[in-house]
Amino acid sequence: MPRYNAPFEIHVHGDVPLRSDVSFEQIQEALKPLWKYAGAKSLADGATSTYEEEPGIRFEQKDHTLQICWTVPGDEDFRQALDEMCMGLNELSDRGAAIEVTFYDTDFDEEEGDPDEESRDDFLMLFVGPNPAAIMQVQRDLLVEDVVNLMERHFDGAELGGVVAEIDRLFSDRFDALVNSLEIGKRPRGTGGPGSGGSGGGHGGGRRPRHLH
């Protein structure tokens, strides 16, 4: 059932490439933790965001992509729903993907509140993929983008090849540690020079703006 006076507005955002053989029924089951948390009886009923300007949860059949730009009122227990959703999407995903989740403190007033009071805002970056190697690949790409964007304030992009190579070495070491016990496909590798990689990033200062398609 809907949660009134919830301490957070929780925004979930990401695009997840799905396998071409995935059905709507499978998507609905994988996302059941989200729409059930929202008090809905089906994905169609729960796909609409709290905010009309947000697209909500959509499946683009043309490119087999699950698009999420969806807000729901909730509490810390939503984290369990996120864990369950990620496990469901792992089985349906075609490639690795990142999902951003932002908890906005509904009780915090930055302008009129107590100056000594701190917001409980929080930001999570979740990863899904068909295997650990695919997840590591998207993690690697996001890290390269973040590091290069930061260092390009002080260095030319052409000077950062060694930094990217070191990041690749760290992920290769992690892969080698995993491969001793898991069969996880291809090793994550560089997809280009400095600046290449997926979109996204870590938690910056201040409140993060909502993403709109």
CATH number at residue 113: 3.30.70
For residue 115, pLDDT over 90 is answered with no
Whether residue 93 lies inside any domain: the answer is: yes
Average pLDDT over residues 20-28: 96
Say yes or no: 20 and 125 in one domain. Answer: yes
Whether residue 207 lies inside any domain: the answer is: yes
Number of domains in the chain: 2
Q: What is the pLDDT of residue 201?
A: 37
Residue with more model confidence, 174 or 92: 92
Say yes or no: 142 and 212 in one domain. Answer: yes
Q: What is the pLDDT of residue 38?
A: 96
Q: What is the pLDDT of residue 77?
A: 96
User: Are 10 and 42 within 8 A, CB to CB?
Assistant: no
Whether residue 2 lies inside any domain: the answer is: no
97, two tokens: 């993907």
Say yes or no: 22 and 88 in one domain. Answer: yes
Least confident window among 39-48, 102-111, 112-121: 112-121
Say yes or no: 94 and 195 in one domain. Answer: no
User: Are 113 and 153 within 8 A, CB to CB?
Assistant: no
Say yes or no: 70 and 87 in one domain. Answer: yes
Average pLDDT over residues 129-150: 92
Least confident window among 17-26, 35-44, 96-105, 132-141: 132-141
What is the rounded distance in angstroms from the CA atom of residue 53 to the CA atom of residue 109?
23
Residue with more model confidence, 186 or 95: 95
Q: What is the pLDDT of residue 108?
A: 65
Whether residue 113 lies inside any domain: the answer is: yes
